Amino acid sequence: MALKNGSYNNLIDVCLKMLEDPERSGNVKEQFVWIIGNYFFEHEKSASKNMELLLNNITPPPFLNGAETLFDIKIEELKSYVRGNSTNDSLAGRIMLSQQYLKAFYPHHAPSFSKLPEDVRFELMDLIKEKNNTIISAYEKMLVDHEADAKRKTLTLIALILKNIHLKTAAPLNKLPKPAEEIIRSTFHNTDELFIASQKQMADLMDDTKIKQIVKIFFMVKQFKDIIGIAEMFKEELGRYRKRTSSARR
């Protein structure tokens, strides 16, 4: 599911879940179609049974032939497929100019683009272009993130986890007594090592005492339950990056 603000920054996590799904793992074409209908067009799919049928029966692009995972996608091939030869022929255009879409979202007009009022036509074309760009941007970020996951140092990972917790919870930060890097290095072992999600690294980073210690230093927490809650988020984020790193290093 997309974030509430319309961002699709978590596409990488959706793709990783596909790899764990026994019904879809190994079938990249089916994974791609599922993501189009259940991620990028989730709202549209829920509008009507006809929209559901349309999105469930999208023809997967030929560039997926031979791909083992969605991380094998070549971004230029994806861009060409999404944008098509024209806005009408683009991925979003084929969906959002269909009778099924027009009936669901413009019920007071005939389900034909040419018969829509001019201002509605312009609005719809802008929506199509925006959706196409959103899909491309999400895949671009996913591929960049996937590459970064294979090259991240443990120090950077910890800092990233703390940043993500702050962004997700808006928990106020403390004024640090020392530079953040120094605090992290003094709490965890071998932080300049490449993070490979090894058993040794995970044991150190999952140490409950160390996590609570770092939480109390970085976050302005007043109650023990708040420390516990943020510590659990730390572990969840660490687990998420473990999966991402293991996938990126295969």
DSSP assignment of the chain = ---TTS--TTHHHHHHHHHH-TTTTT-HHHHHHHHIIIIITHHHHTT-HHHHHHHHTPPPPGGGTT-SSGGG--HHHHHHHHH-SSTTTSHHHHHHTSHHHHHHH-TTS-S-GGGS-HHHHHHHHHHHHHHHHHHHHHHHHHHHHHHHHTS-BHHHHHHHHHHHHHHHH-PPBPPPSS-HHHHHHHHSS-TTSBP---HHHHHHHT-HHHHHHHHHHHB---SHHHHHHHHHHHHHHHHHHHHHHHHHT-
- 39 has a pLDDT exceeding 50: yes
Q: Other C-beta atoms within 10 Å of 99: how many?
A: 13
Tokens representing 196 are: 């490979």
- 1 has a pLDDT exceeding 80: no
Binning pLDDT at 50, 70 and 90, where does residue 25 land?
A: confident
Q: Other C-beta atoms within 10 Å of 31: how many?
A: 23
Interval 96-100 mean pLDDT: 97
pLDDT at 169: 92
Q: Is 74 exposed, middle or buried (0-12, 13-18, 19+ CB in 10 A)?
A: exposed
- 99 has a pLDDT exceeding 50: yes
CA 200 – CA 154 distance, rounded (Å): 12
Tokens representing 96 are: 């959002």
Binning pLDDT at 50, 70 and 90, where does residue 21 land?
A: confident
CA atoms within 13 A on the CB side of 87: 14
Is the pLDDT higher at 1 or at 57? Answer: 57
All structural domains of the chain with their residue ranges: 11-148, 154-248
Backbone angles phi and psi of 144, in degrees to 5: -65, -45
pLDDT tens readout for residues 162-216: 999 999 999 999 999 999 999 999 999 999 999 999 999 999 999 999 999 999 9
pLDDT at 7: 52
Length of the chain equals: 250
